[in-house]
Structures are given as C-alpha cells and as structure tokens.
Amino acid sequence: MVDILLKRYLWLIDTLRYRGQMTLAEIIDAWECASANDARTALNERTFRNHCKAILTNFGIEIACRRGRNLNYYYIANPEELQGNSLNSWLLENFSLSALLSEHSALADKILVEEIPSGRMHLSTVLTALREGRVLRVSYRNFAGRGFDARELEPLCVKLFKRRWYLVARIMESQELRILSLDRVTVMELSEKAYSYPADFSPSEFFAPYYGIIALAGVDPVEIRLRAYCELPGYLTSLPLHHSQEVIAQCGEYTDFRLRLVPTFEFVQELLLHRDQLEVLTPDSLRGEVAELLGKMQQRYHDA
C-alpha cells in the first residue's frame, strides 16, 4: 500500500513539474492513462486533496490552487524545493525514468541500464533503523578480507556513489565513525537498542569537503587547479567533479578549473580516469602524486 501511494505522490509531483498548472479535470484525465496507474484506478477530488496534504507532509512540496472565474488551476507553489532537495530530485528523476521505460516496455531488450550491487538488500533495514532510532548489529568483510562480526552501529546516513550504497555509522562502544559499503555486509540485524541521533551531525556538511565516499578526519581542504583539454571542458562543465568547481580561465586549447576539497584516493582515481585530457596545475603535492602514479603505471608496461 505504501509503494502504491508513493507512486501516486511522485506521479502527481512529476506531472505538475513538467506540465505546469493544471485543472483538476486535466489531472484526473492524465491519471487515467498514466503508466504509473497500472491498476487503472480512478482519482477523485477527495483523494487528490489527501494526496496534496501527504505530499506537503512527506516531501515539503506545496501544491497550491489559483482560483479563476470558471476554473481552478493547481501548481507547485515552491518549485525551489525540487532543486534544493537532492533526495526529492533523485526520487523524481528515477520515477520519471521508470515511467518512461514502462511506456516503452516493448523496447526492453534495446534499453541497457547499469546494475547496482546487492547492497540494496540491506538498504531497507538501514532506513528503518534511521527512522526509528535503533541500533544495527552488523558483520562486515571488505575486499581485503578485513572486517568485524556482530558489531553494534548507530546509523547516521547513507550515500549512493558509483553504483554502490554506503553507510556512515558510529560504533556504539567507541563512538568512532565508520563508512561501510552495504554490498560487503554479511549480516545486518535491527536490535532493540535505541540511540540518539547527534544534533551536530549534518550528512551534507560531512561530505562537503570530499569527492566520493572517503572522509579523512583532520585533513583540511586545499585549492586545486585543473586544466582540461579537447572535449573534456564541456564534460566537466555539464557534470562538475565537485560543488566547489568553477571556471577560472578559457582559451581555444584548454579550460582551467578551480576546486576546493580534500584530495582523497577516490579523487585521484577520478583524475586519472580522464587520461591525457586532464592536467593538475596546483598544488604541487597533488601534481607530484599524479605524476608519480603515471610513472609507476608506465613502468609496469615497460617491465611486462
């Protein structure tokens, strides 16, 4: 039942987002033939108003009414909530894609999507623990074989990065922070123990100085300047590496970008991904690290 209602809420938000203001009759007609309405249920005025209230409560999105002489038009009164809330945006984009693919199910063999590893199976348990303030009992093994068994963790947030779900949690006994890949969890159980979510912890602020999922305590962000060649400037402009990224110089052959973050292992990996189209200008320490890695890579091929 919850899934059905969520689908209705997302459909209503998505429809008003793309079509703008609509009369109730137009909304009802649109719902009748919507791919999300696979059970072909009817939508009446009372149900519509209940959906509007639930959307405001659960998503913070207000569906308002502009009254006219003969017709009333409904619209999203605070569209900034869609841009400013990353979870709402993510849910809506995924719903829109799901609806689009459902409408073209006959092309299933011609539409290829990326798989997300099995970490999804633990996601529901983590979200329940976050919602109810309950401690998790977790056993974990990383790809190197290191890990722990039946450790009690206090969940703080989850993050999706490069097709893997990650959990940020505190070890209950030591209060030490850990970041775990959910697809490497071997056992996860909800305990009856409760915990208090720290008032001073903000997931977005926690990850703000970083690219990716690795967080280095006590390491300050630094200013990084990158030079992009060929078609890479357009790619980086349309899909920035980090929220701090800005263009500082442009010419026919290259574009220079400035970022401010902690240069973690994952960030260096991302730089190397762009091959000879990306150059680190500053700081010298990062430029030297990338040059050293390139030298080691070259040596491997010379030794082969």
The answer to whether 79 and 89 are in contact (CB under 8 A) is no
Q: Around Cβ 264, how many Cβ atoms within 10 Å?
A: 18
Task: Compute the mean pLDDT over every residue in the chain, rounded to the nearest whole number.
Answer: 88
- Which residue in 289, 268, 286, 285 sits closest to 210, CA to CA? 268
Long-range contacts of 20-25 (CB under 8 A, 24+ apart): 20/75, 21/66, 21/73, 21/74, 21/75, 22/73, 22/74, 22/75, 23/71, 23/72, 23/73, 23/74, 24/48, 24/72, 24/74
- Which residue in 255, 299, 286, 290 sits closest to 272, CA to CA? 290
Each residue's pLDDT tens digit, 102-142: 666 677 777 776 777 666 778 888 988 998 999 999 999 98
Q: What is the pLDDT of residue 69?
A: 77
Q: What is the pLDDT of residue 81?
A: 80
Residue that has been written with the tokens 């775990």 in this structure: 180
- Sorted by where each starts, the structural domains of the chain and their CATH numbers stand as 2-109 (1.10.10), 120-207 (2.30.30), 222-303 (3.30.70)
The answer to whether 129 and 190 are in contact (CB under 8 A) is yes
Report for 51-60, 122-131, 264-273, 294-303: range of highest mean pLDDT: 264-273
pLDDT band at 6 (very low <50, low <70, confident <90, very high): confident
Task: Tell me how far apart the alpha carbons of residues 89 and 104 are, in angstroms, rounded to a whole number.
Answer: 23
pLDDT band at 177 (very low <50, low <70, confident <90, very high): very high
Q: What is the pLDDT of residue 216?
A: 87
The phi and psi torsions of 73 (rounded to 5 degrees) equal -110, 135
Q: What is the pLDDT of residue 208?
A: 94
**Is-cis flag, bond preceding 283, omega within 30?**
yes
pLDDT band at 252 (very low <50, low <70, confident <90, very high): confident
